[in-house]
Amino acid sequence: MSVIAIIGSLDTKGAEFEFLKNQIEQRGHKTLLIDVGIKGSDLLTPDVPAGEVSAAAGENLEELASANDRGRAVAAMAKGICEIVAGLWGEKKFDGLISMGGSAGTSVGTAAMRALPLGVPKVMVSTVAGTDVSDYVGVKDIVMIPSIVDVSGINRISRQVISQAAGCVCGMAETEIPKGEDRLLIAASMFGNTTDCVQAASKALEAAGYEVLIFHATGVGGKTMESLIEDGFITGVLDLTTTEWADELVGGVLAAGPHRMEAAARNGIPTVAAPGCLDMVNFWAPNTIPTKFEGRLFYEHNPNITLMRTTPEESRELGRIFAQKVNLSTGPVAVFLPLKGISVIAMEGQPFHSPEADEALFSTIKENLRPDIPIHEMDVDINHPSFSEAAWKELLNLINQ
């Protein structure tokens, strides 16, 4: 029998959560009710009262209620619920998690869900589920269900939505994942301009007995890769496409945030890194590019993606950032520099070929990298078979040290 944790503001939506609780229990499951409201409920008695949630955030519940500051209360309960659910999950007190709410309730509920590992059933019934929910979901496997009507009372529509949501989380908790040939995982970063390199390396690594997870370096791809590394899934990292840092620095649309390249470094995961595609910043269609970049060198990758060449000054700063992130490494790491082109379009004769920018990038990496970290300079482009082979062989060497 599974236990489904329910997160809710019981002071304002008690009837809705009572209905959800009953629907889950009628399906033969137990419930663990967690209150994230600040005024208490006369209808339901939670298993984890709101006072415990606020205390986990370092806040007093009575003070939160008397302050009459909704923003402060939401922030506190979101912080506290992350601590609560992480602890309960560690103690194996529940098997799945469900919540309901408007924008504030969604913020609190999904904060709890993002604090849990991949694979834990997570269902959020939300009034904002029909919009862009990327900030709520992050890189976690959260199922967002549109509430259709406000989560305010039980009616013909909400009865159906809540019942089916209960069935969703119960079904997920009941599902047995079929066993496969679970091999050690290697994470690899790839972009269209490094495809040949990464795919060749992936085939070789899989032939060596590993399973390779390839992440497209589109912002969410890098964030997801970092998250899986942080959660302990990954044995080695082939980070040959670090282009997301160009978007982060210059202001492109595919940035992965300021912590890209940190998870493997801080967790001691063997890594081979290269400055793949740091020659380009990504934008959408040409008419979306900010006017401040007028006069720069652009390349139409496809009708929806426009690339902008990084300047020598930007490349110098990217080299410093790249070295800084690699220098965080607590485990075995190596850096590879493809001197004849860091992408398909940066090779000689291609539109982004810029010896000055490449030299700024490479020299800054070498000047700032820790002396104990090996640098492999290769007189080929990043997609040359010899570069791919050298990189994957070095990763196996680092893993087996």
Q: For residue range 200-248, what is the model confidence (pLDDT) as tens digits?
A: 999 999 999 999 999 999 999 999 999 999 999 999 999 999 999 999 9
Residue at a domain's end among 174, 197, 220: 174
The reply to whether 340 and 384 lie within a common domain is yes
197 vs 352: CA distance, rounded Å: 19
Closest by CA to 334, choosing from 262, 392, 259, 263, is 392
Q: Which residues contact 77 (CB under 8 A, 6 or more apart)?
A: 36, 38, 50, 53, 54, 57, 108
The reply to whether 253 and 170 lie within a common domain is no
Q: Can you give the pLDDT at residue 181?
A: 79
The reply to whether 292 and 325 lie within a common domain is yes
Q: What letter does residue 241 receive in the DSSP assignment?
A: B
Mean pLDDT to the nearest integer, 23-35: 98
Residue 75 within any structural domain of the chain: yes
| Phi–psi pair at 188, nearest 5 degrees | -135, 140
Q: Can you give the pLDDT at residue 278?
A: 98
The reply to whether 16 and 119 lie within a common domain is yes
The reply to whether 189 and 322 lie within a common domain is yes
Residue 182 has pLDDT above 90, yes or no: no
The reply to whether 157 and 206 lie within a common domain is no
Summary mean pLDDT of the chain: 97
Q: Can you give the pLDDT at residue 370?
A: 98
The reply to whether 345 and 365 lie within a common domain is yes
Residue at a domain's end among 121, 145, 174: 174
* pTM of the predicted structure, to 2 decimals: 0.86
Banded model confidence at residue 180, pLDDT cuts 50, 70, 90 = confident
48 vs 31: CA distance, rounded Å: 11
Residue 363 has pLDDT above 90, yes or no: yes
172 vs 179: CA distance, rounded Å: 16
Residue 179 within any structural domain of the chain: no
Residue 40 has pLDDT above 90, yes or no: no
382 vs 274: CA distance, rounded Å: 9
Ramachandran region of residue 326, left (φ > 0), alpha (ψ -120 to 50) or beta?
alpha
E strands present in 228-342? 234-239, 271-273, 280-283, 298-302, 305-309, 333-338
Joined together, the tokens standing for residue 298 give: 């652009």
209 vs 287: CA distance, rounded Å: 46
Domain extent, residue 386, equals 185-399
Residue 242 within any structural domain of the chain: yes
76-92 tens-digit pLDDT: 999 999 999 999 999 99
303-328 tens-digit pLDDT: 999 999 999 999 999 999 999 999 99
Residue 177 vs residues 173, 174, 235: alpha-carbon distances, Å: 10, 10, 22
Residue at a domain's end among 111, 143, 174: 174
| Number of domains forming the structure of the chain | 2
Question: What's 338's domain CATH number?
Answer: 3.40.50.12030
Residue 304 within any structural domain of the chain: yes
Q: Can you give the pLDDT at residue 42?
A: 82
Question: What's 23's domain CATH number?
Answer: 3.40.50.12020
The reply to whether 139 and 244 lie within a common domain is no
Banded model confidence at residue 47, pLDDT cuts 50, 70, 90 = very high
| Phi–psi pair at 234, nearest 5 degrees | -105, 135
The reply to whether 48 and 164 lie within a common domain is yes
Q: Residue 291: CA atoms inside 13 Å, Cβ hemisphere, count?
A: 0
DSSP 84-145: HHHHHHHTT--SEEEEEESHHHHHHHHHHHHTS-TTS-EEEEETTTTS--HHHHTTS-PEEE
Who has greater pLDDT, 110 or 179? 110
Q: Which residues contact 175 (CB under 8 A, 6 or more apart)?
A: none
Q: Can you give the pLDDT at residue 214?
A: 98
303 vs 10: CA distance, rounded Å: 49
Residue 290 within any structural domain of the chain: yes
User: Any bridge partners for residue 281, and if so which?
Assistant: 308
Residue 180 within any structural domain of the chain: no
Q: What letter does residue 51 receive in the DSSP assignment?
A: H
The reply to whether 148 and 273 lie within a common domain is no
The reply to whether 168 and 313 lie within a common domain is no
Of the chain, the end-to-end C-alpha distance in Å amounts to 44
The reply to whether 250 and 304 lie within a common domain is yes
Residue 230 within any structural domain of the chain: yes
Residue 375 within any structural domain of the chain: yes
Mean pLDDT to the nearest integer, 258-279: 98
